[in-house]
Structure 1
Amino acid sequence: MKALIDVHYLPSLEYFCCLLQHESVRLERHEHFIKQTYRSRSYILGGNNVQMLNIPVVKGRSKTPVKDLRTDTRQPWKKQHWKSIRSAYGNAPFFEFYAPELEQMFQNKTDFLIDYTFPFLTLCLKWLGADIMLEWTGMYENEPDSSINDLRSVIEPKSGYQERSFYRPVPYLQVFGKNFVPNLSIVDLLSCEGPNALSVLKSSAGV
């Protein structure tokens, strides 16, 4: 079955587990932007516990299509996000391998949110070695075809992964803390597990 889903920023493990359970994925670019979601935020594990990385956006007219939404370039959030990631994972065993390309992604000059977050998704899929077919929506559909699993606004921070079956956490050794913190950004898993990251995801997804 094909999945229809929104584009997330440095997506969570649940997001990737969801992708792995579908034959192909259609990415929504015509929906109206929704605040306080994974569309513009991500979570990493730093020395002071879980840290949120939030992309500030320019407030436009009400119900702005996500494809037209601009990030707030007046704020130095790109530098701050990279600094936070480097501080959190600088000592992780595999971070050095991914750091050059990841740092380069934070230098993307685009003003548009979705044009900024989408390359992160494709880069992480490349690192994972996950062969997942991606395509964009051509228009917004309230009720997609029954052959499509509509997952727009389903994977969100406020709802929690426990309510769904995409992700069943398989613990791995993290940089900080004694207790495993599940469902962080894929950056956490890649930095800690490297080439084994896809196996951890598949086990967590039950595929």
Structure 2
Amino acid sequence: MLSKDFIVLPSAYLPPISYYYFLSKNEAAIIDIHENFIKRSIRNRAYLLGPNGHILLTVPKRKTMFRSMNKIEIFKISKWTRKHWKAITSCYNSSPYFKYYKDDFENIYSFKHNYLFELNKRLNDLILDILKIKCNCIYSADYVITQNKEMDFRQHKYLQKFNYSKVFKEHNNKNELSIIDLIFNLGPDSKKYLKSIYI
């Protein structure tokens, strides 16, 4: 699949804030679900902010000979969904807007997804709806080849820090927080915040 005019992003789990900054600036984007899965990346990792600093969430995957993102299966035996939802609740229960969105997120965590990209897509669809971002996300039919490297964000380092949180302001971890940190703290003003920043 050849991309000329669209930004290209990886499928990501509870993606970082910058991910949605890029989506908010474009009318369409290609989500590459045929690239090789990259370990220790946003494809199955997200960072939350708790009272003691960053909390890493990792979706466990089954060991497999397949490397393509669309064939990565979630390891279902572990109780990861319960642990992740408990961590999210612990971090954001006191945030101003958590109560308005928690049911929608909890519904996704109560469903048993087979493939990682399916989980990521459901979360992405919900987040785009909450943020009212109109970007059309096209999921790739095969590996995406880009002619313009400036529009390819698959290898982007998500290390930005943003100052908006009213819950736990001080944190020194280099990794960028998940978009849900912004949503649960700013609610309907999250999109306005994305428009106000520059990366």
Q: Contact 2:23–2:133 (CA<8 Å) still a contact in 1? A: no
Length-normalised TM-score, structure 1: 0.86
Divergent runs of 4+, >2 A: 143-148, 177-183
- The count of aligned residue pairs is 194
Q: What's the counterpart of residue 127 of structure 2?
A: 124
Matched, 1:78 2:70: no
C-alpha distance in 1, partners of 2:198/2:75? 35
Q: How do 1:37-116 residues align onto structure 2 when only pairs under 5 Å count? A: 37-61=41-65, 64-116=67-119
Aligned-residue RMSD, C-alpha:
2.1
Percent identity of paired positions between Structure 1 and Structure 2: 27
Following superposition, the deviation at residue 177 of structure 1 comes to: 3.9
Length-normalised TM-score, structure 2: 0.89
Q: Give SS of 1:80's match.
A: helix
Question: Deviation string for 1:46-88 (max 9, x for gaps)?
Answer: 1211101111111111x51110110111110100000000010
C-alpha distance in 1, partners of 2:48/2:69? 24
Matched, 1:26 2:26: no
Q: What's the counterpart of residue 182 of structure 2?
A: 189
C-alpha distance in 1, partners of 2:157/2:149? 20
Matched, 1:201 2:194: yes
Q: Contact 2:32–2:140 (CA<8 Å) still a contact in 1? A: yes
Q: Find the partner of 2:15 among 11, 14, 26.
A: 11
Matched, 1:136 2:139: yes
Q: Which runs of 5+ in 2 are unaligned?
A: none
Question: Deviation string for 1:73-119 (max 9, x for gaps)?
Answer: 11101000000000100011110000011111101222110011111
Change (3 A) 1:93 1:145: same
Q: Which runs of 5+ in 1 are unaligned?
A: 162-168
Following superposition, the deviation at residue 146 of structure 1 comes to: 4.2
C-alpha distance in 1, partners of 2:142/2:58? 27
Q: Contact 1:94–1:194 (CA<8 Å) still a contact in 2? A: yes
Question: Deviation string for 1:110-132 (max 9, x for gaps)?
Answer: 21100111110110110011111
Question: Deviation string for 1:158-199 (max 9, x for gaps)?
Answer: xx34xxxxxxx5521331244698831111111111111111
C-alpha distance in 2, partners of 1:173/1:116? 27
Q: What's the counterpart of residue 6 of structure 2?
A: 2
- Most deviating of 144-153 and 11-20: 144-153
